[in-house]
Amino acid sequence: MTKAEILRFWKKFRKNKLAVIGAAIILIEVVLALFAPFLVPFDPFQPDYVDYLKGPGNKHLLGTDSLGRDVFSRLIYGTRVSLSAGLISVIIALVIGVPIGLITGYYQGFLDEFIIMRITDAMMSLPSLVLALAMSALLGAGLKNAMIAIGIIFTPRYIRLVRGEVMKIKEVQFIEAASSLGMSDLRILFKHILPNILSPIMVQATLSIATGIIVEASLSYLGMGTQPPTPSWGTMLSSGQGYLEQAPWIALGAGTAIFISVLAFNIFGDGLRDVLDPKLK
């Protein structure tokens, strides 16, 4: 993008106040994730059997959990896990889904219509969490396997999205002109078609990160994602459910963090769609 295009994008994007707020929250979370070791007031891994289940106060801003670990410090470290899970799972889906979508949309045929798209439809017919649980059961518990599982279940979305966009744009005159000039299919796909369908891909990727955060937290809550003692919003919800009456701040902090993060990515994605979708201009 040129400087003029960036300025034009920003002028339109900033008109959507909610989207700007979402972008600001995401930026804050990125900073927290990157500089977590320098920002936490206490070691998020170190138990303190004297100050366990202490309520929010001056020493512990959001209180402590059942092992005396500072909830605020663990929430900050949990930001790393959630953002990594959302981002890496989307990257996996993009790396697999975009090339398949480009090729199937451009060539179509029996393999596309009766095999790839039927597998895609079957995967998309299942709830994300159910499919993620099945994949995690096959791969084994752990954050890395959870990210791979989430990435695989996101892949059909990008295959279908990219395929549909390619089928629409390949009939446009400048694509037909490039083909008539003898340009290779590979060059047409990656130099002419892909740059013109990046907008819907970017919007879908932003919204998928929000879903990835939810799915990772759900897997961690069920014991199939991040494993203790690594701080994760899902594991904090799981450990806090037994202390809802005695120490509600444990689960409340993690639940609030998940809610704010997912909301931020969703309103940011909606703002991107409003700016990049030509039908809305």
Tens of pLDDT, residue by residue over 223-274, are: 888 888 888 999 999 988 888 888 899 999 999 999 999 999 999 998 888 8
Please give the pLDDT value at position 2. 67
Does residue 279 carry a pLDDT above 60?
no
Q: Fill in the DSSP letter of residue 280.
A: G
Please give the pLDDT value at position 278. 53
pLDDT (tens digit, 9 = 90+) per residue, 195-215?
888 889 999 999 999 999 999
CA-based end-to-end distance of the chain: 18
137 and 207 Cβ atoms separated by less than 8 Å: no
Please give the pLDDT value at position 1. 59
Does residue 275 carry a pLDDT above 70?
yes
DSSP code string of 163-218 = HHHHHHHTTSHHHHHHHHTT--HHHIIIIIIGGGGHHHHHHHHHHHHHHHHHHHHH
pLDDT (tens digit, 9 = 90+) per residue, 23-66?
999 999 999 999 999 999 998 998 888 888 888 987 888 989 98
Asked if the 30-35+60-280 domain carries CATH number 3.40.50.620, the reply is: no
Interhelix angle 143-169/128-139, nearest 10 degrees: 130
Task: Write out the two tokens for 231.
Answer: 């701080």
pLDDT (tens digit, 9 = 90+) per residue, 73-118?
999 999 999 999 999 999 999 999 999 999 988 888 777 778 888 8
Name the pTM for this structure.
0.89
What is d(CA 172, CA 276) in angstroms, rounded to the nearest whole number? 19
What is d(CA 44, CA 78) in angstroms, rounded to the nearest whole number? 10
Please give the pLDDT value at position 180. 76
pLDDT (tens digit, 9 = 90+) per residue, 124-181?
888 888 888 888 888 888 889 999 999 999 999 999 999 998 888 887 777 778 777 7
Which of 226, 254, 257 minimizes the C-alpha distance to 241?
254
